Amino acid sequence: MSERSDLRAAEEAIRRRRPEDFASVDPGDVVTARWVRMKCTYGCGGYGGCLTCPPHSPTPSETREMLDEYETAYLIWWGDSPPGRSVLAEIERDVFLAGHYKAFTFATGPCRLCDPCPLEPPCRHPHQARPSMEACGIDVYSTAHRAGFPLRVVTSHEDTPNFYSLLLVD
């Protein structure tokens, strides 16, 4: 497990991108569930629309197994502005170069780096394309609530959404 002092560079890399807030979370407290995948498959217009979304993205159980390989993670709250994949990739890169060789980011929403996604590997922007938490079966609501952050169902276009990303460190 990373020592606290080792995590200063990771926290600084996050802070520099000016999120609303962020919190250290135990990867064991990141909730995965099969219903998340079901919601992606039945009811999401983005299903099958890019290489970072189902059916191409990891299943909830694969994600659970991956999360269990980590001991340190950060949940990053971006307020009502979804973070660009390039910003998240920059954070991941900074953290990797600080010595955290397992650094990996989960983004938010479908990947829109190409328009449209060619849906044929290899991905055209492999250094930036990262799957969203929900695309990998993470229950973002429960995970945010466990970390003490707000998230509720958006019920109208006037409602304010909240966006999150997850950074695995170690």
The residues binding ligand SF4 (CB under 6 A) are 50-52, 111, 113-114, 117-118, 123-125, 129
Give least dist CB 53 to ligand SF4, A.
8
**Which residue lies nearer to ligand SF4 by CB, 6 or 90?**
90
Amino acid residing at 5: S
Instruction: Give the residue from 109, 132, 113 showing the smallest Cα distance to 123.
Output: 113
Beta strand pairing status for 104-106 and 21-25? unpaired
Q: Which is nearer to ligand SF4, 28 or 55 (CB)?
A: 55
What are 167's two structure tokens? 């950074």
Smallest gap, in angstroms, from Cβ of residue 132 to ligand SF4? 11
- Minimum distance, C-beta of residue 83 to ligand SF4, in the bound complex (Å): 15
Tokens of 77: 């709250």
In angstroms, give the least distance from the CB of 109 to ligand SF4: 11
Nearest to ligand SF4 of 55, 150 (CB atom): 55
CB-wise, 66 or 113, nearer to ligand SF4? 113
Task: Give CA–CA dist 67/156, Å, rounded.
Answer: 33
Chain CA centroid to CA 98, Å: 20
Largest Cα separation within the chain, whole Å, is 44
